[in-house]
Amino acid sequence: MTLRANWTKEDLLKLTFLRSYSSADLVKIIESFNSLKDFTSSESPYAQKFRQMEIFQNDKLDFEVNRQIELCKLNNYQILSFWDEDYPDLLKNIQYPPLLLFVNGIIKSDCSKNISIVGTRKNTQYGKLVTEQFVEYFVKNDITIISGLAYGIDSIAHRTTLKNNGITYAVVASGLDEVNPQLSRKLADEIIAKGGAIITEYRCGTKSLQGYFPQRNRIISGLSKATIVIESAKKGGALITANFAFDQNREIYAVPGNINSERSKGTNLLIKNLKAQPAISPKFILEDLGILSIDKVHKKQNQKISFKNHNQELVYTSINSHPIHIDEIIQKVNIDISELLVILLELEFDGFIKQLPGKYYIKGNFDA
């Protein structure tokens, strides 16, 4: 795709007032005309609509563009054009990249260690645990986590990144000044304060609309070397992100889930249709992408385990170097089965135990 670089940011801002036109339409305009003047004086249907706009006829366009620029300066928002050095490199390679990005915070042009994590807003405890385990491991490997600031898996991914002192970017479907609801704004502020960024292609004053979210999703995948879907229904929004990643020739991973759970039908379908590889562990993903940066083979026997709570310690000490069945563990610890399964999964993710066929468990030194 050839984009002509003699369009100024002010010119591109003017194009954002072309309501109902997509990024694909705007890219076509840039590809077809050398400048805004060439475009507005042409007989293109796009140009005709542009000239018919009230804001254009009343000479208010320059005022509105200057107001946008001043708003961004006042709030320390960056406006990046496609041709700026700081524009994310991987995003340039998608079919219809945003011509402008509005950024609150700091982003790097190098996307080689960006991974997006997406999923349902109504996650299970299993989905929460997997997200936390994967993100914690990724942050230790200097991975930047990309997500969409929504409830559920998105927020868990952002918060876990911050908890582990990592960097995360949130891509939103509104103007930077219109991030909603209140809880999302608080999380957004924390992301910025800890060195991350809020990113959008929509100018200030733009409220989120349902149709903006699919377009937002192409940016999430476009910023990322790989996309991981944690949990998703058969028609969940996370699958839209995965499909964009597929079209963008990016790697996709999906967490296998319960075949009877509605919240895993989407991820299981991605794996079945060979669109995604099973996300069997965070280490596997980083090795597959070639970006593993630390040795995760721990010498567990010499490492003092920091237990999260008494029940986790109880479960760990009930397991030894000989296989033990889950029924026997239940008898030993007297813990509710749902809590026990979560604890076993935590210990397995950390590499302290391993599940064997037939619901047997063994203690040992295993890779995370």
pLDDT in tens, 175-226: 999 998 777 899 999 999 999 999 999 999 999 888 899 999 999 999 999 9
Give the confidence band of 300 by pLDDT, cuts at 50, 70, 90.
very low
Q: Give per-residue burial for 277-298: e unless 16+ CB within 10 Å, then b.
A: bebebbbbbbeebebbeeebee
pLDDT surpasses 80 at 53: no
pLDDT of residue 304: 64
Instruction: Round the average pLDDT of the chain to a whole number and report it.
Output: 89
Mean pLDDT of 337-356: 87
80-123 confidence digits (pLDDT tens): 999 899 999 999 999 999 999 999 999 999 999 999 999 999 99
Q: Which residue has the tokens 């790989």?
A: 226
Contact 264, 328 (CB under 8 A): no
Residue 186: CB atoms within 10 Å: 11
CATH class of 300-363: mainly alpha
Residue 20: CB atoms within 10 Å: 7
pLDDT surpasses 80 at 160: yes
Mean pLDDT of 253-262: 91
Give the confidence band of 48 by pLDDT, cuts at 50, 70, 90.
confident
Give the confidence band of 60 by pLDDT, cuts at 50, 70, 90.
confident
C-alpha 141/C-alpha 295 separation (Å) is 9
Considering the chain, tell me which residue range(s) the CATH 3.40.50.450 domain(s) occupy.
Answer: 114-289
Structure tokens at 58: 């009343």
User: Alpha carbon of 230 to those of 117, 120, 136, 147, 223: distances in Å?
Assistant: 7, 8, 15, 12, 18
Residue 303: CB atoms within 10 Å: 11
Of 127, 198, 138, the residue nearest 166 (C-alpha): 138
Mean pLDDT of 298-305: 52
Q: What is the length of the chain? A: 368
Q: Is 172 helix (H, G, I), strand (E, B) or coil?
A: coil
Q: Is 103 helix (H, G, I), strand (E, B) or coil?
A: strand
C-alpha 217/C-alpha 250 separation (Å) is 14
Contact 319, 313 (CB under 8 A): no
pLDDT surpasses 90 at 17: no
pLDDT of residue 299: 43
C-alpha 240/C-alpha 116 separation (Å) is 13
Give the confidence band of 318 by pLDDT, cuts at 50, 70, 90.
very high
Cis peptide bond N-terminal to 88, omega within 30:
no
Q: Which residue has the tokens 């000490």?
A: 317
pLDDT of residue 366: 63
Q: What pTM did the predictor assign?
A: 0.79
Residue 235 DSSP label: T
Mean pLDDT of 349-354: 84
Structure tokens at 253: 């991973």
pLDDT of residue 56: 67
Up-side HSE of residue 295: CA atoms within 13 Å toward CB?
3
Contact 280, 287 (CB under 8 A): no
pLDDT of residue 297: 40
User: Alpha carbon of 158 to those of 238, 242, 271, 284: distances in Å?
Assistant: 16, 19, 25, 21
C-alpha 43/C-alpha 33 separation (Å) is 12
**Range from 152-161, 179-188, 262-271, 323-332 carrying the lowest mean pLDDT:** 179-188
Considering the chain, tell me which residue range(s) the CATH 1.10.10.10 domain(s) occupy.
Answer: 300-363
CATH topology of domain 114-289: Rossmann fold (3.40.50)
Contact 249, 138 (CB under 8 A): no
**Range from 2-6, 233-237, 313-317 carrying the lowest mean pLDDT:** 2-6
pLDDT of residue 365: 66
Using only C-alpha atoms, the chain has a radius of gyration, in whole angstroms, of: 24
Q: Is 78 helix (H, G, I), strand (E, B) or coil?
A: strand
Residue 124 DSSP label: -
Residue 208: CB atoms within 10 Å: 17
pLDDT surpasses 70 at 31: yes
Tell me how far the alpha carbon of residue 136 is from its chain's centroid: 15
**Range from 3-17, 46-60, 209-223, 286-300 carrying the lowest mean pLDDT:** 286-300
